[in-house]
Structure 1
Amino acid sequence: MTARPSPGDLLVVDGQASVQFAGDRALTFRVVSVSDQPTYAGWIWLTGYVLNRRGEATDKREIYVQLDGLRPIAGPPTPQRPRASRSPASRFDQGDGSTTRNRSGTRARVGAQR
C-alpha cells in the first residue's frame, strides 16, 4: 500500500510494515487517525484499534510503520452481536407490569375500561 491510509481503513500490519509486527505479532488494525508529524521517508504514525478475529476492538494503539508494508483488507469484519430473542408475550409487556389479559384472552391495559 503506497497510498496514505485514511480513518476507517482496515489494514493488515505484519512484518512487512515493521519488524516489531513479524510472525505471530501481526495484527488487524482499524485506522482512527493519521499523523502529520514529519517522519523518515516512507514511514508513518497511525492511531487506531487492534481488532480480534470477530472484528471487535481490543486495544487502542499508536504505531509507526512503513507505508509500502501496509496491506488493506478488502472486506472489513464487522462485530457480530448475539441476536436477542423475545418471547411473544414480551411484545405486550413494557416491563412495568401495566398490561394484563382480559377475559377474552387479549392484552389490555390495567385500569382500562372494558
Structure 2
Amino acid sequence: MKSGDVLHLTRAASVQFLRPIFVRVIRLPNWVTYDGWLWIEGYELGPKGEAVVRRSLFVQMSGLIWPDAPVSTARPTTRRQIRRGQVRVG
C-alpha cells in the first residue's frame, strides 16, 4: 500500500465502518499497533471521487479491499486555461 491508493473500507476492516467508505491514502504513520492492525491517514471520498474529509483510521490489514474499478481520480476543471498568446473574451 502506498500514498494515492484507494481503499474500500467495510466492517471487515473495522466495526466502525457500519456504512462502508472509500478512502484515498495520504500516508501510513509508523505508530505502534496490535499485530495485523495499522493506522491510515487519508481522505474519505464522496460519490464522485472528491475528497470530503481527512481521517485517521485504525484498520485490520486483512479487511482492506482494493476496488477493481477505482473511484474516479479525474480532477474537476474549475476554469479554462489560457494559452500564451490567446486573448480572453468575456
Distance change >3 Å, CA 83–CA 60, structure 1 → 2: closer
Of structures 1 and 2, the one with the larger relative CO (CA 8 A, separation 6+) is 2
Report the 3-state secondary structure (helix = DSSP H, G, I; strand = E; otherwise coil) of the residue aligned with 1:72: coil
* CA RMSD between the two structures: 2.4
Give the TM-score normalised by structure 2.
0.79
The list of structure 1 runs, each at least 4 consecutive aligned residues, that deviate by more than 6 angstroms after superposition, is: 82-85
Give the TM-score normalised by structure 1.
0.64
Unpaired runs of at least 5, structure 2: 81-85
Q: Match for residue 7 of structure 2? A: 11
Report the 3-state secondary structure (helix = DSSP H, G, I; strand = E; otherwise coil) of the residue aligned with 1:68: helix
Distance change >3 Å, CA 38–CA 53, structure 1 → 2: same
Unpaired runs of at least 5, structure 1: 86-91, 97-114
Report the 3-state secondary structure (helix = DSSP H, G, I; strand = E; otherwise coil) of the residue aligned with 1:55: coil
| Higher Rg of the two aligned structures | 1
